[in-house]
Amino acid sequence: MIHLQNATLQYNMSKTPIFSDVTLHIAKGEWISLIGPSGSGKTSLLNIIGGSIELSSGKVFIEQTDIQTLSINEKQLYVREKISTVYQQFRLLPQFTVLENIMLPLIPYRDRKVIQAKALELMEDVGLEEHAKKLPSQLSGGQQQRVAFARALITEPDILLCDEPTGNLDHDNRNNILELLSVVHKKGKTIVLATHDDFVTKKSDRIITFTGNTIHIGGDKIASL
């Protein structure tokens, strides 16, 4: 599903690359957890897969498509159909209702009635069917994160990228989000999740560990930085 080939990422002002010559394979339906300290490259890897930043060199394949060879418009269309992202900070629009926030990714592209029906179905899946007309500020943090998950799932992505999705949540809400992720995983979605929480990684199929100068997967070093 995801393949990085000889991937190197180095920001212009940095003398040290974030990644150097990384080759990584993630199979369809796998749940991969990325762990390591802040600034070690976890979010950068998610952004590479999601197409929001370009590699300095190397290739990024989603299925058989090297997304770095696509034009900006082609990449946006491809990524929109294949990938969704859930963030630690929720990123809900405060002026819109819960229902409208969930609908947003599809509003420019599908019939509004169809989108609304799909959004209401997702609200039931995440246990928020009674909160459709509320604003995000009227919800708890855990509820807002469930809205963010529903919004990410409305496009029916093959790949779900999660950047510290439980980082701002208490124990109970963390478990609720992990249960939602487990349901998504059982449906065959590929999950790549960055976290600082060792408990979260217990749900995953494999763990990629970022340290000061290396990346490890399953105990084996896969790349030097």
Domain with 17, as residue range(s), is: 2-224
Closest CA to 211 of 60, 42, 7: 42
pTM of the model: 0.89
Quick one: pLDDT at residue 222?
Answer: 42
Q: How far apart are CA 70 and CA 78, in angstroms?
A: 9
- Could you give the CA distance from residue 132 to residue 85 in angstroms, rounded to a whole number? 22
Distance of CA 88 to the CA centre of its chain: 10
Rounded to whole angstroms, how far apart are CA atoms 202 and 190?
16
In this prediction, residue 109 carries a pLDDT of 83
Assigned token pair, 192: 């790549």
pLDDT for 139? 95
The pLDDT, as a whole number, for residue 65 is: 93
- Cα-only R_g, the chain: 18
- pLDDT at res. 108: 79
What pLDDT is stored for residue 219 in this prediction? 46
Question: Structurally, how many domains does the chain consist of?
Answer: 1
User: Which pairs with CB-CB distance under 8 Å and at least 24 residues apart come from 106-110?
Assistant: 106/154, 106/155
Domain of 193, CATH number, reads: 3.40.50.300
User: Among 81, 86, 55, which Cα is nearest to 180's?
Assistant: 86
Flag residues of the chain having pLDDT under 70: 13-14, 212-225
| Of residues 57, 47, 48, the one with CA closest to residue 8 | 57
